[in-house]
Amino acid sequence: DLLDRLGASDLPDGQQSWYGRHVAKAYRAQHGGDAVRVWAQHRTTGKWIHVFVYAPTDPALTAGLRSYKATRHLADRAAYTEAA
């Protein structure tokens, strides 16, 4: 997961959820529809939830970082990680 690779896996669940919403919005704008949805077990509650799945290099991931205030500071780090 991109947030893990950037060392931001400690973001509260609520902020991770909002980041996901920003990524989904960026993906829809770029591709004209939703990403693939799969069932996954929530990491803290254990409940099964629907989540969108993106390619590790999908531009929507970094677009979501830039558009969400709580993760905006990670966008430069993401660009560096992709280049490395």
d(CA 33, CA 31): 6
* Structure token pair of residue 3: 């947030």
What's the whole-model pTM score?
A: 0.80
Q: Which amino acid is at 42?
A: H
Local confidence band at 58 (pLDDT 50, 70, 90 cut-offs): very high
Q: Report whether 19 contacts 2 (CB < 8 A).
A: no
- For residue 57, give its domain range: 2-83
Residue pLDDT, tens place only, 1-44: 788 887 777 788 778 889 999 999 999 999 999 999 999 998 88
User: What's the total number of domains in the chain?
Assistant: 1
* Cross-strand bridge partners of residue 36: 53
- Give the contacts of 14 (CB within 8 A, at least 6 positions apart): none
